[in-house]
Amino acid sequence: MGEWVIGVVGGSGLYALDALEDAQWIQVDTPWGPPSDALLVGRIRGVRFVFLPRHGRGHRLPPSAVNARANVDALKRAGCTDLIAISAVGSLRDSLEPGRFVAVDQFVDRTFARESSFFGPGMAGHVSMADPVCPRLTTLAADAAEAAGAPVTRGAVYLAMEGPQFSTRAESRMYRQWGCDVIGMTAMPEAKLAREAELPYALIGMVTDYDCWREDCDPVEVGEVLARLNANADTARRLVVELAQSLPTRREPSPIDTNLDTALITAPDARDPAMLAKLDAVCGRVLRRPG
């Protein structure tokens, strides 16, 4: 493989990457429907980047309307080797103050209204999510965030809620008891789908506010979140530039690149051709393998 092609999924407040050279927006069609927006492709310091605004430019899409399957498929079709999500999150810990960046390493998935797998009737597959992020990519992204001037916490549990409403106080306190550290609405099923597509995934959470578990704080409001998002977005753009500068010249293979080798369970003669056609990008490597 050798060359890095970094997909960047930009969350709330991050809708473009100004540092991209020779940047152009391209349309990518997928069998899962349209992605959130066109893809912005270009290079930074010689490294190819593919940027996708998760909510679309202008923030058109609420969390439950984001077509994560189409987004991940489109990034795979565009040649991405790795995916970094940069997402707004609320804090469930005093030590994770607004403005801090958090390198997430675990998830609790509480979403329920979203398609969470590329697999289905006619082609069953099961990938492990025990360790849901790529440690190599997460370390590189956290290092880049520090180089960009952000305070960074490494290691955190992300609670993915359905939304679009914010938590009740009872929910927020319960999530803290579960051991969760930050809360958001978009990392799931995105991280699961990246794993099914054999794409190493990292998530850097940008803390915008304390969730409503604190007695001495007012409930979360959109205005407060937007103000912090604007400040965080500038740092996030610098993070991407620092990442481009720090990537090893050669991309060594990751175990995630081949995790489907042991994930497909449907016998070849029982596989649905129509489903296989839809899986051509995310599973093409293993489906085209002889035998």
Residues annotated as catalytic (active site), given as ranges: 209, 211
Which residue, among 187, 176, 171, has the nearest Cα to 109 in the 3D structure? Answer: 187
Phi, psi of 2 (to 5 degrees): 90, -50
Q: Is the alpha carbon torsion for 237, 239, 241, 247 positive or negative?
A: negative
Q: How far is CA 270 from the centre of its chain?
A: 32
* CA pair distance 78, 9, nearest whole angstrom: 13
Contact 46, 243 (CB under 8 A): no
Q: Which amino acid is at 33?
A: G
Token reading at 91: 């804090």
Exposed/middle/buried for residue 279 (C-beta within 10 Å: 0-12, 13-18, 19+): buried
Buried b (16+ CB within 10 A) or exposed e, 78-106: bebbbbbbbbbbbbbbeebebebbbbbbb
